[in-house]
Structure 1
Amino acid sequence: MSLHPFRARRALARACMALAVMAAGSAAAAEFTLNPTRVHLDRARSIETLVLGNADTRPLSFEASVQQWAMAADGSWQLQPSDDLVVHPLVFTVQPGEQARLRVGTLEPETATERAYRIELQQLPGGGTDGVQVEVLTRLSVPVFVRPPAPTPATAATLEGASFGADGLRLTLANTGAHYLPPQEARLRLLDAAGRTLEETPLAVGYVLAGAQLPLPVHPVPGQACARAARVELHLPETDATVVAPLPASPRRCGG
């Protein structure tokens, strides 16, 4: 199973920073704030403003680009350059202690299905760091969703492919609603035929776009719980929903 995109990016960023520190002795990363961190556009609100504040002691420059965002069957992100959104300005500099305002809009707010994008804000080299430091350039990725009017249901999900393998419980979370499911700390429960809880554990769940699916991390299950489990429940606190799936009696490979 491939590494989830946000985990892969976080691991890569840490590795790059570690290499910079080893090579130069120290690394300088920009300090800033961003609000909001997620954008929703629709027919009633086709323009939003992002505010980026510079909490650093040096000017910070960024270049913006737009990517259309989809998800493959394995949950990986598919990003393609897009001109569906209007972003202004595309290149900007924020002085220390000041703020920059980035306007984000769509010329096509009418949509039958939710469209997803990511605005990539790439920090540009400043050239003002000390000679003994390596400047760590930041790349921000802001999700943007263009939503259809008043869908029903807005959010809905199912669990698919529930099964036990030699490495544990396998599940896929499918988003059958009209809106994306946000990242959240879900609760996974295994229950027996009488509805008694055999095991309960937190489970980190990433974005699931409308109409997409996300294979969840394989969850190791003790042999006794595996043998007795009749169904699985996943509670999604962000939407206050619980999705349930039966567990097939066979084939079932339970460990010790």
Structure 2
Amino acid sequence: MKHTWRRYTECSALLAGLWMAGDAGASGLQVAPTTVTLKSSQNAEGLWLSNTGDNVVHAQVRVYHWTQNDQQDRLVASRGLVISPPMVQLAPGDRQLIRVIRTGAPPSGANAAEDAYRLAIDELPVGAEGKRGLQFVLHYSLPIFIEPLGTKVGPQLQWDLHRRGEDIVLQVSNRGGSHAQLASLSYIGTDGHRTEINPGLLGYVLPGATMQWMLKPPASAFPAGGTLEAMINGEKALQNLSLSDHPR
């Protein structure tokens, strides 16, 4: 069954890609690292939850298998990974190691690709009785990647920029064996004029998936013969790209 987040926080290594539900300044819950990768030889990896606030924090940790179909993220509860411990209580200044444990074999076989999960970390409301106004909690969603056996194949991306009615759509397909994290996108015209598309994290494209994003700049910001500049998995990349009337 498709899982829909009521409050969604996308956490990545890029701080600009962090969105928080509620008043994040009121919470002391911190997570590090914000992305976990298990090599094929690893059965487990860890991350730390810490409380930098002045109040006790209660948190719940759950795991979902992550796929992308029909240009949408799909999250399904899974036992492919188990989390220990799944519930934590942190006093001010405390921290807790959370272990992410793989229960089965890593992806294998011809053309095996990286597998992906999402770790949902929810701060639970505590002591809200008698308090006035809305009580906010914090939600993190951390990507977890499982590398396949054999040689790792990086992302292989196909780009398309096209119109959909009055909207401009960026479509990216990944024919490689591992994910692509897209961030800090700009379009540079032949005259050198730069248009910022998205300053922070745009999103991910998993192996074998195609994703689409509606862009804010108007069609006039994408003259023919321009170049798309983006950070892909933290490295700058350039792609020649022109606006078309139909997706390829």
Alignment root-mean-square deviation, CA: 3.2
Range that drifts further, 196-205 or 212-221: 196-205
Residue from 53, 56, 80 that aligns with 1:56: 53
1:104 corresponds to: 100
- CA deviation profile, 1:119-164 (whole Å, cap 9, x unmatched): 111222322676336431222211111112464541221113x334
Q: Which has the larger radius of gyration?
A: 1
The answer to whether residue 157 in structure 2 is matched with residue 157 in structure 1 is yes
The answer to whether the 8 A contact 1:42-1:109 is kept is: no
What's the TM-score once normalised by structure 1's chain length? 0.74
Structure 2: 5+ residue stretches without partners: 10-18
Structure 1 position 199, deviation (Å): 4.5
Counterpart residue identity of residue 86, structure 1: V
The answer to whether the 8 A contact 1:28-1:133 is kept is: no
Structure 1 position 198, deviation (Å): 6.5
What's the TM-score once normalised by structure 2's chain length? 0.76
The answer to whether residue 235 in structure 2 is matched with residue 239 in structure 1 is yes
The answer to whether residue 86 in structure 2 is matched with residue 87 in structure 1 is no
The answer to whether the 8 A contact 2:20-2:139 is kept is: no
Matched position secondary structure for 1:211:
coil
In 1, Cα distance between equivalents of 2:167 and 2:60: 44
Matched position secondary structure for 1:117:
strand
Structure 1 position 39, deviation (Å): 0.5
In 2, Cα distance between equivalents of 1:201 and 1:144: 32
The answer to whether the 8 A contact 1:34-1:51 is kept is: yes
Structure 1 position 166, deviation (Å): 5.4
Give the paired residue count. Answer: 224
Change (3 A) 1:29 1:130: farther
- CA deviation profile, 1:187-237 (whole Å, cap 9, x unmatched): 2234xxxxx3475322222111122122132341329x65xx1x4432232
Structure 1: 5+ residue stretches without partners: 18-26, 191-195, 252-256
Counterpart residue identity of residue 58, structure 1: N
The answer to whether residue 38 in structure 2 is matched with residue 41 in structure 1 is yes
Matched position secondary structure for 1:216:
strand
Structure 1 position 85, deviation (Å): 0.2
Percent of paired sites with the same residue = 22
